[in-house]
Amino acid sequence: MTTALPTTSALETLRTVFGYDEFRGEQAAIIDSVVSGGDALVLMPTGAGKSLCYQVPALVRPGTGVVISPLIALMQDQVDALAALGVRAAFLNSTQSLDQRRDVEAAYVAGELDLLYLAPERLSVPSTLQLLDRGTIALFAIDEAHCVSSWGHDFRPDYLLLTVLGERWPDVPRIALTATATAATSSEIAHRLHLDRARRFVASFDRPNIEYRIVPKDNPRAQLLTLLRSEHEGDAGIVYCLSRKSVEETAAYLTKNGITALPYHAGLDAGVRAWNQARFLREPGLVMTATIAFGMGIDKPDVRFVAHLDLPKSVEGYYQETGRAGRDGAPATAWLAYGLADVVQQRRMIDGSEGDAAHRRRLGQHLDAMLALCETVECRRVQLLAYFGQDSEACGNCDTCTTQPQTWDGTIAAQKVLSAVVRLDQRGQRYGAGHIVDILLGNATPRVTQLDHTTLSVFGIGSELDAAGWRGVVRQLLARRLLAVSADGYGTLELTESSGDVLRGEREVALRTEAPTSARKRSSGSGRKAKGDEIPLDAAGEALFERLRGWRAATAKEAGLPAYVVFHDATLRQVAAEAPTTLDALAGVSGIGAGKLDKWGTSVLEVVAG
């Protein structure tokens, strides 16, 4: 434990503890509200500094800030990062021994903790509530608050227990925070946590440093490999896959091709998951292939890309996952490979999901919004931000901005696909997209011949497109609900209520021209292009920066910490630019607070001195 921090002003705490001169965006207003005893509901994107919104008030207000977090696997890292700042932090969870828990409990009761992290399920244990009663609580911070939403992509039933906080400690301010919530989800969070009267803060959802790209899927692992080799050689990144099997196969494929990749999914042994996560956080340039079980709360700033090999189920999930790239503000890539099979698979999963019709309808709405983002010919960022209720202008840093998609009149092509479905239905038959494409192309495959489908009036009428082109037409019809996946569990196709309008010529269908599937060259707004506000260095400065990075790597390894917990790259670049010679001068560098100056200041000066 370090010595107690004095109760002081929020800005002074920011400067002395965290090493920053000023708050960003809404941080100051949020912190002032909580410091004065008010409740707050905060929607702020990943990398915008949500944690400061409860850490600073916890240090300013008397008592211990209690943080409710679902991230048991990351609590040790969170506590280590705070300890590096000189903040007295601890956690209570199932990974600890009885003696360890008793030590933490004693420190809390004695007023020797600034922050205490708890998992939500611990609040169902009466002894935990009794423990909290024995100390002084500065505030309750409910992190990842979207987990309380029953319609959310990370629903945690234990979050429903958190109403006890306001009921048992009505005078203790509560702050709920999330990076991902629509207006409807925000209202549900407020209702379920009894924060209806809380002041709401909504920061911009825009992450301008992330370049959004969605490409037609064609051998996605090979496409991914091309992307990494051409644009992200040696970069850290995350690759999301839908299934555990795909996670492991993708990790093996990348490793076989010279890119060190680690798997992560809920089916792996807990020790393996923990080890792989620790390696990803601490070692440079590793790629994590994972299901959505990985990523929430990951504070690694230099993730340069997030790739999806399968279609996310919702825009919220997509935004949350891609937001793990570029937390340091430097350019990053969000890349998604998307194809017809994704649409069919997601529709089938919705039809087979548990829950009533309203639940399936809501899942369908989430998927529709995700499909609209994939199929848009407008700026992807404009559409993404509009989903969260934010107006914006074309960004110039997404694929639809840098290479404007073309559209074509696909009405006749759509009618041909729908007519094929009708002709099969007249025979009491339903088939999937592949079979319908064979019929349109006139492919007399053994199956087509055996079923006598060569005699259909639509057989061979689609020679104007190739197989990939017809799959694109089917995909876009599915995305617009002009065609549907049958609820028979086999992925067969059927008409919708809107199909008739197209067949009768009462509705035109503009289709997006299929783009090449190969990874294109990096656009001017992405990749390793320097940020506009990045500190320029001459040759000597770059050499010093690399020496500082080498020192940081050795220091972090010795301390068992991720490198970014010691210092971020931006801090080291400023040190390299200014070459300070005294501790007072070093203290003026952004990101160097009193705790880090005391721990590592002298060593940094020695590196600078050469």
- CATH 1.20.58.220 is right for the domain spanning 407-512: no
pLDDT number for residue 309: 97
> Which has the minimum average pLDDT: 31-35, 68-72, 86-90, 100-104?
68-72
Are 371 and 318 in contact, with CB atoms under 8 Å apart?
A: no
pLDDT top residue among 262 and 514: 262
One DSSP character per residue, 431-499 reads --HHHHHHHHHT---HHHHHTTGGGSTTTT--TTS-HHHHHHHHHHHHHTTSSEE-TTSS--EE--TTH
Q: Pick 210-338+376-402's CATH classification: 3.40.50.300, 2.60.40.60, 3.40.630.10, 3.90.1150.10.
A: 3.40.50.300
Q: How many CA atoms lie within 13 A of 560 on its CB side?
A: 6
Binned at pLDDT 50, 70 and 90, residue 10 comes out as very high
Query: Can you give the pLDDT at residue 150?
Result: 64
* Bridge partner list, 216: 338
Q: How much is the mean pLDDT over the chain?
A: 89
- At 154 the pLDDT is 62
* pLDDT value, residue 142: 95
Average pLDDT over residues 188-192: 91
Domains 210-338+376-402 and 407-512 share a fold: no
Q: Which pLDDT value is given to residue 351?
A: 81
pLDDT band at 518 (very low <50, low <70, confident <90, very high): very low
CATH number given to 539-609: 1.10.150.80
Q: Residue 316 CB: number of other CB atoms within 10 A?
A: 26
pLDDT in tens, 114-156: 999 999 999 989 999 999 999 999 999 999 898 888 655 567 7
Residue where the block lists tokens 């005893």: 37
Q: Report the alpha-carbon distance of residue 345 to residue 347 in Å, rounded.
A: 6
| CB contact set of 228 (below 8 Å; sequence gap of 6+) | 235, 237, 254, 259, 287, 305
How do residues 567-603 score in pLDDT, each as one tens digit? 988 899 999 999 999 999 999 999 999 999 999 999 9
40 SS3 class: strand
The SS3 of residue 318 is helix
535/531 Cα distance (integer angstroms):
9
Higher pLDDT, 66 or 520: 66
pLDDT at position 74:
84
How far apart are the C-alpha atoms of 382 and 7, rounded to whole Å?
Answer: 43
With bands split at pLDDT 50, 70 and 90, how would you rate the model's confidence at 356?
confident
Mean pLDDT value across residues 154-176? 90
Q: 298-347, pLDDT tens digit by residue? A: 888 899 999 999 999 999 889 989 999 998 888 999 999 999 989 888 98
Mention the CATH class of domain 10-202: alpha beta
What are the boundaries of each domain within the chain? Answer: 10-202, 210-338+376-402, 407-512, 539-609
The β-bridge partners of 409 are 510
- For residue range 461-491, what is the model confidence (pLDDT) as tens digits? 999 999 999 999 999 999 888 999 887 778 8
